[in-house]
Chain A
Amino acid sequence: MKLLPLFISSLSVSLRSANALWPVPRNLEKGTSHLLLSPSFDIQVEGVAFSDVPGDLQGAIGRTKTRLWEDRLGRLVPGRGQSDLQASAAPGSLSLLTLSIKPPPGEGKGAKVPSITSEVLKDVSARDESYSLHVPADGAPARISANSSLGLLRGLGTFEQLWYWAEKGGEAGTGVVYMHEAPVVVKDDRPAYPYRGFMLDTARNFFPVPDIKRTLDAMSMVKMSQFHWHVVDSQSFPLEVPEFPELAQKGAYSEKEKYSTQDVQDIVKYAAERGIDVLMEIDIPGHTAILAESHPEHIACLHASPWSQYANEPPAGQLRLASAATADFTVALISAIASRLPGTLFSTGGDEINQNCYREDAQTQKDLKESGKTLEQALDGFTGRVHEAVRGRGKRVVVWEEMALEHQVGLANDTVVMVWISSKNAAKVAKKGFHVVHAPSDYFYLDCGAGEWIGNSAGTNSWCDPFKSWQKAYTFDPLASLTKDQASLVLGGQQLLWAEQSSPENLDSIVWPRAAVSAEIFWTGPRLPSGASRSVGEALPRLHDIRFRMVQRGVKAIALQPLWCALRPGQCDS
């Protein structure tokens, strides 16, 4: 048996029978042997009694063991892998995967392996997600080594994607789990960018906790590291805040459409166990009309009509940023929320501030006059106080790009800026020296292209038409128009779902598999293991594969093509 480095394999091999890993590791060598998964297969952590393995790593190991048998994914070839069974007379059988953590936890009592969660909760740039994986072809133990439990989790995610299932002829429900390209060697796979996210808006329409957990599971499959939770907005306030119970009481769509403190802790824990940090956003000072249901004194231009003069979408309403009382309220609210979150990033939003709203608000005009400040100066003061409160809780502030590019607002050097209006604006943000998260509407907005949702607008398209296909997103270049020096400011990126036209009914289908695209862009970087540039032609068969695997795991990812095409890579290319 000889290892075939991917770069010498022909184009047809890389298109037709590549290990369908997503995101593709940065280094990958593979063979051509079949390897069975032994019915007695087990996963052990080297040098540590299983009882001393941190609970979240135990959980991850348990999930991997279950999935290997339950994924039951037939290989995407005509016949779905039936011929694989006949191809190899006496394949090896794998009965052990060893997880090895460096440095070794030491001997005897008190030996501690740090948890996945503890790594996830570090600063986004400080997490170690690297791992190496070796699966020998002869059935000898496979091995994942890493410097952290998080790295082991990433390795387990890769390992899970190697396996297929083939039904044994005539025996419905019985089959074998096997891989077809052993041996597999992944050396020092690690993400090109630490921030690989997905944003969900739970305010335009509500998503129950199980929907969020299912989304986190799918995110974890493709090694995403950040869940950006746009939890509240002008339309509803589903977040329960113990210090401000009236906000959700009056602002949630209904008693049931709320996230309790327990729900939030549950989601944060569930995410961390899966290698995902939760970045919560409380968008201010715009996008806050709903606060007026319980605190009308803090909101300018509430439900002002026509809304198009006061907000980018209905209903209008913004925090009275020039009011000292409103600033106090906002600081107290954000502090209360941030103090319960263990992650190191917190977003205060800051997009789409409407000037006209403040111009016509007598209270704001009075406050400005009394303080002698311009609106921009008031915004600076407001932002400064809120950001100080966030930073005081050990968090880095995340803002939308307007805060850095359109307003004269002082921002701390470590502020993370999300670029959404246009991918072109990333260079402007980098020029100012801020860290960038790519979230451009022209590549990564998942809601575009479903028609205008505003009523009485027959025949108009969505504002960010057309639909952002996976292919379009895949061509995004994180470093376009950045200098070499600026490149280090890019933390990563994410696809986003604004939920004006989404709900639990279409969540999976609008998100998956498209959101997996940015997961690969920001993990794998610009080049395949072969050294060739990533391309949609090479990616499609692998994206089909992860999509079908998601469906097997209960995520309703959509078909990208007729099944005929999915089984015949390249045959349906343009």
Chain B
Amino acid sequence: MMLLRVSQVLLGLSSLSSSALALWPQPRELSTGTTPLKLSNDFSVSTKGLPSTPNDLQDAIRRTQGFLRTDKLQALVPDRGASSKSAVGSARALRSLRLAYTGTARRLTSLSEEAIADVESRVEGYTLTVPADGGEAVLQANSTLGLFRGLTTFGQIWYELEGTAYTLVAPIQIKDEPLYKYRGFMLDTARNYFPVDDIKRTLDAMSWVKINTLHWHIVDSQSFPLVVPGFQTLSEKGAYNAKAVYTPQNVKEIIDYAAARGIDVIAEIDTPGHTSILAHSFPEHIACFEASPWTKYANEPPAGQLRLASPATVNFTSSLLTAAAKLFPSKFFSTGGDEINANCYNEDAETQKDLAGRTVDEALDGFTQAVHGALKGVGKTAVVWEEMLLDHKVKLANDTVVLVWISSANVQAVAQAGYRLVHASNDFFYLDCGAGAWVGNFPDGNSWCDPFKTWQKSYSFNPIANLTKEQEKFVLGGQHLLWTEQAGPTNLDEKIWPRAASGAELFWTGPGGDVRAALPRLHDLQYRFVKRGVKATPLQPEWCALRPGKCDLDA
């Protein structure tokens, strides 16, 4: 048996057959056989060889074993696997998966600790072998996080037929690790509110495709659902209602839930724009509050920005963000910085007075230095939207991470400036595009970032386009994003899934994947998500899902 590089596997015919292995993201190195193998009724996961078993790893094992029983996903072939009945019936039975630690530590660190460690230090690789003869399967890694990623892969191997979990492609050998360290998803919980359970379900789904970062755009001009100790009045007056809040307890619950699934939570408090809602409790800090027409003062209603030239506002913002940052253990904290409206400040008498001869960009520099400095004081590295680097004359610490959203064409400029970057460009990764204009009274309006970004579109993204070899190292990874002007709990799942999985594979397995070969595996993932209670959108008629290639353009 030979390990094939993934590019070769993707070209092989077997990857077009959905009865083959449908892993997502595709492991970097994978080989499969042609022998049927079933899970024994007494299948168990052994941790005896580990130096210790952290509780969150134990929980992850329990969840994996649960999925093996409850997924009940039938193979995506016309007869849903019925013709494999005798092969499955007479197959060898796998009784055990043994976890093995290949590192040197005398105790394993917890999955949760590793998940929130510095992004560049995380170790997520693993190897997995599943023999064809019923002999013990082995999952090896030199980190708890790696073991967790391997468990996730193991959980995707199996189909169900009449109560038996089976695969037709043993032996399986996998050697895997992500190409990029940052594989994220961004959720906006301010335009419309999402209860904690919806976020947890999203975290589960993210973990199934090995996404490791939730970028939580938690507040914005429309609402302030975050309860910040010392600043409770913000959520009291700024949340949509008393129930539409995230208390420190909720936040901890979400962070813990995420970390136990290998996910770091990066909070964003977007400043100085996108802050209109603060005026409900602190009107003195907000310029051009709900000014009309909003189109002159903001990119969307309602208008309102922090008075960045006011020393009192700078102090207030530093204290607020520091207090908020203390709720989140991640090394990163985002201060946003997108879409600052110059006109808002031009017409704000208070700001004009406070500028005292400075330009707005000079004041912004002072504001940013103060806020970032305060965050650094509590151990946080700043994350900003691209404008802070490319549009404003703001001095940023060298370790700042820049999110590129306006256009993928701007990536090069960020790398050239020597900053680490995360791909989040609207032209590939915005999940909200294409649903029509959401502003009222605009019958012929399409969304500003039309058209809809299909899974194929993001799948075709090249993370290192136009970058020199030297610049490539600045790419931390990338993410899909959901801005929620037209989303809420009623359509959260289908807006995100399975499209965001496309980014998950792009940044794990690497670019260059073929959409034709990927589609059957993505169908598989979508069907598995539905089995697990995530309302992922179907990509095609079921007829097509059961017949790989038959609904291709040239079929």
Q: Which residues of A contact B (CB under 8 A)?
A: 80, 203-206, 234-236, 253-254, 303, 305-308, 313-315, 449-459, 461-462, 465-472, 474-475, 499-503, 505-506, 508-509, 535-537, 540, 551, 556-565, 570-574
Chain B residues, Cβ within 8 Å of A508? 490
Q: Please measure, in the bound complex, the distance between the C-alpha atom of A454 and the C-alpha atom of B191, giving whole angstroms.
A: 33
Additional pairs, 14, CB under 8 Å, beyond known A455-B519, A467-B436, A562-B190: A205-B542, A306-B555, A452-B454, A454-B551, A456-B515, A461-B452, A467-B447, A471-B436, A471-B445, A472-B444, A564-B221, A571-B301, A574-B440, A574-B445
* A540:B434 contact, CB within 8 angstroms: no
Query: How close is A188's CB to chain B, nearest CB, in angstroms?
Result: 30
Q: Please measure, in the bound complex, the distance between the C-alpha atom of A472 and the C-alpha atom of B443, giving whole angstroms.
A: 5
In the complex, which of the residues B191, B441, B542 contacts A236, with contact meaning CB atoms closer than 8 Å?
A: B542
Q: Please measure, in the bound complex, the distance between the C-alpha atom of A475 and the C-alpha atom of B455, giving whole angstroms.
A: 31
Q: Please measure, in the bound complex, the distance between the C-alpha atom of A203 and the C-alpha atom of B541, giving whole angstroms.
A: 8
Question: Closest B-chain residue to A508, C-beta based?
Answer: B490
Chain B residues, Cβ within 8 Å of A558? 486-488, 490-491
Q: Is B460 an interface residue (CB 8 A)?
A: yes
In the complex, which of the residues B441, B494, B538, B555 contacts A540, with contact meaning CB atoms closer than 8 Å?
A: B441
* B540:A453 contact, CB within 8 angstroms: yes
Q: Is B341 an interface residue (CB 8 A)?
A: no
Q: Please measure, in the bound complex, the distance between the C-alpha atom of A437 and the C-alpha atom of B484, giving whole angstroms.
A: 35
Q: Which residues of B contact A (CB under 8 A)?
A: 80, 190-193, 221-223, 240-241, 290, 294-295, 300-302, 434-447, 450-457, 459-460, 484-488, 490-491, 493-494, 515-516, 519, 530, 535-544, 546, 549-555
Known interface pairs A236-B543, A305-B555. Does A502 touch B538 (Cβ–Cβ under 8 Å)? yes
* A559:B451 contact, CB within 8 angstroms: no
Chain B residues, Cβ within 8 Å of A471? 436-437, 441-445
Q: Please measure, in the bound complex, the distance between the C-alpha atom of A502 and the C-alpha atom of B538, giving whole angstroms.
A: 6
* B552:A458 contact, CB within 8 angstroms: no
* B452:A455 contact, CB within 8 angstroms: no
Chain A residues, Cβ within 8 Å of B553? 308, 454-457
Chain A residues, Cβ within 8 Å of B450? 466
Known interface pairs A563-B193, A564-B302. Does A572 touch B542 (Cβ–Cβ under 8 Å)? no
Q: Please measure, in the bound complex, the distance between the C-alpha atom of A454 and the C-alpha atom of B320, giving whole angstroms.
A: 49
Question: Closest A-chain residue to B435, C-beta based?
Answer: A467
* B554:A306 contact, CB within 8 angstroms: yes
Known interface pairs A466-B446, A540-B441, A559-B192. Does A571 touch B302 (Cβ–Cβ under 8 Å)? yes
* B241:A80 contact, CB within 8 angstroms: yes
Query: How close is A133's CB to chain B, nearest CB, in angstroms?
Result: 29
Question: Closest A-chain residue to B456, C-beta based?
Answer: A458
Chain B residues, Cβ within 8 Å of A254? 80
Chain B interface, DSSP helix/strand/loop, else mixed: loop
Query: How close is B208's CB to chain A, nearest CB, in angstroms?
Result: 16
In the complex, which of the residues B241, B294, B436 contacts A470, with contact meaning CB atoms closer than 8 Å?
A: B436
Tally the A-B contacts, defined by beta carbons under 8 Å.
233
Query: How close is A459's CB to chain B, nearest CB, in angstroms?
Result: 6
Q: Please measure, in the bound complex, the distance between the C-alpha atom of A234 and the C-alpha atom of B543, giving whole angstroms.
A: 9
Chain B residues, Cβ within 8 Å of A206? 542
4 smallest beta-carbon distances between A and B, as pairs: A469-B436, A451-B454, A235-B543, A564-B222
Question: Closest B-chain residue to A233, C-beta based?
Answer: B541
Chain A residues, Cβ within 8 Å of B459? 458
* B437:A506 contact, CB within 8 angstroms: no
Chain A residues, Cβ within 8 Å of B290? 571
Query: How close is B72's CB to chain A, nearest CB, in angstroms?
Result: 12
Q: Please measure, in the bound complex, the distance between the C-alpha atom of A559 and the C-alpha atom of B193, giving whole angstroms.
A: 11
Chain B residues, Cβ within 8 Å of A559? 192, 484-488, 490-491
* A458:B541 contact, CB within 8 angstroms: no
In the complex, which of the residues B438, B443, B444, B515 contacts A561, with contact meaning CB atoms closer than 8 Å?
A: B438
Q: Please measure, in the bound complex, the distance between the C-alpha atom of A467 and the C-alpha atom of B451, giving whole angstroms.
A: 9
Q: Please measure, in the bound complex, the distance between the C-alpha atom of A230 and the C-alpha atom of B488, giving whole angstroms.
A: 29
Known interface pairs A455-B544, A572-B301. Does A562 touch B490 (Cβ–Cβ under 8 Å)? no
Known interface pairs A254-B80, A452-B454, A509-B491. Does A560 touch B438 (Cβ–Cβ under 8 Å)? yes
Q: What are 13 A-B pairs with beta-carbon distances under 8 A?
A: A204-B541, A451-B457, A453-B551, A455-B519, A456-B519, A458-B459, A468-B436, A471-B436, A471-B437, A471-B442, A509-B491, A562-B484, A571-B290
Query: How close is B430's CB to chain A, nearest CB, in angstroms?
Result: 13
* B457:A556 contact, CB within 8 angstroms: no
* A459:B555 contact, CB within 8 angstroms: no
Chain A residues, Cβ within 8 Å of B442? 471, 536, 573-574
Q: Please measure, in the bound complex, the distance between the C-alpha atom of A558 and the C-alpha atom of B191, giving whole angstroms.
A: 13
* B457:A459 contact, CB within 8 angstroms: yes
In the complex, which of the residues B441, B446, B484, B538 contacts A537, with contact meaning CB atoms closer than 8 Å?
A: B441
Q: Which of B294, B450, B494, B530 has the most CB of A within 10 A?
A: B494
Question: Closest B-chain residue to A253, C-beta based?
Answer: B542
Chain B residues, Cβ within 8 Å of A572? 294, 300-301, 438-440
Query: How close is B2's CB to chain A, nearest CB, in angstroms?
Result: 28
Query: How close is B19's CB to chain A, nearest CB, in angstroms?
Result: 16
Q: Please measure, in the bound complex, the distance between the C-alpha atom of A500 and the C-alpha atom of B539, giving whole angstroms.
A: 7
In the complex, which of the residues A205, A451, A535, A557 contacts B452, with contact meaning CB atoms closer than 8 Å?
A: A451
Q: Please measure, in the bound complex, the distance between the C-alpha atom of A108 and the C-alpha atom of B536, giving whole angstroms.
A: 58
Q: Which of A315, A450, A558 has the most CB of B within 10 A?
A: A558
* B440:A459 contact, CB within 8 angstroms: no
Query: How close is B533's CB to chain A, nearest CB, in angstroms?
Result: 10
* A457:B443 contact, CB within 8 angstroms: no
Question: Closest B-chain residue to A465, C-beta based?
Answer: B451
* B223:A564 contact, CB within 8 angstroms: yes
Q: Please measure, in the bound complex, the distance between the C-alpha atom of A123 and the C-alpha atom of B433, giving whole angstroms.
A: 43
Known interface pairs A466-B451, A561-B438. Does A235 touch B555 (Cβ–Cβ under 8 Å)? no
* B223:A563 contact, CB within 8 angstroms: yes
Chain B residues, Cβ within 8 Å of A574? 295, 437, 439-442, 445
* B555:A505 contact, CB within 8 angstroms: no
* B491:A455 contact, CB within 8 angstroms: no
* B454:A459 contact, CB within 8 angstroms: yes
Known interface pairs A461-B451, A536-B441, A563-B192. Does A205 touch B538 (Cβ–Cβ under 8 Å)? yes
* B437:A455 contact, CB within 8 angstroms: no
Question: Closest A-chain residue to B221, C-beta based?
Answer: A564
Q: Please measure, in the bound complex, the distance between the C-alpha atom of A559 and the C-alpha atom of B493, giving whole angstroms.
A: 14
Known interface pairs A80-B241, A204-B541, A509-B490. Does A455 touch B440 (Cβ–Cβ under 8 Å)? no
* A562:B516 contact, CB within 8 angstroms: no
* B440:A573 contact, CB within 8 angstroms: yes
Q: Please measure, in the bound complex, the distance between the C-alpha atom of A451 and the C-alpha atom of B522, giving whole angstroms.
A: 16
Q: Which of A253, A306, A467, A570 has the most CB of B within 10 A?
A: A467
Chain B residues, Cβ within 8 Å of A456? 515-516, 519, 552-554
Q: Please measure, in the bound complex, the distance between the C-alpha atom of A537 and the C-alpha atom of B439, giving whole angstroms.
A: 10
Chain A residues, Cβ within 8 Å of B551? 307, 313-314, 453-455
Query: How close is B216's CB to chain A, nearest CB, in angstroms?
Result: 17
Known interface pairs A537-B440, A564-B302. Does A451 touch B490 (Cβ–Cβ under 8 Å)? no
Known interface pairs A306-B555, A557-B490. Does A503 touch B440 (Cβ–Cβ under 8 Å)? no
Chain A residues, Cβ within 8 Å of B537? 450, 501-503, 505-506
Question: Closest A-chain residue to B439, C-beta based?
Answer: A574
In the complex, which of the residues A234, A451, A565 contacts B440, with contact meaning CB atoms closer than 8 Å?
A: A565
Chain A residues, Cβ within 8 Å of B491? 506, 509, 556, 558-559
Query: How close is A504's CB to chain B, nearest CB, in angstroms?
Result: 8
Query: How close is A515's CB to chain B, nearest CB, in angstroms?
Result: 14
* A506:B544 contact, CB within 8 angstroms: no
Query: How close is A220's CB to chain B, nearest CB, in angstroms?
Result: 19
* A455:B515 contact, CB within 8 angstroms: yes
Known interface pairs A500-B541, A564-B222. Does A458 touch B487 (Cβ–Cβ under 8 Å)? no
Question: Closest A-chain residue to B519, C-beta based?
Answer: A455
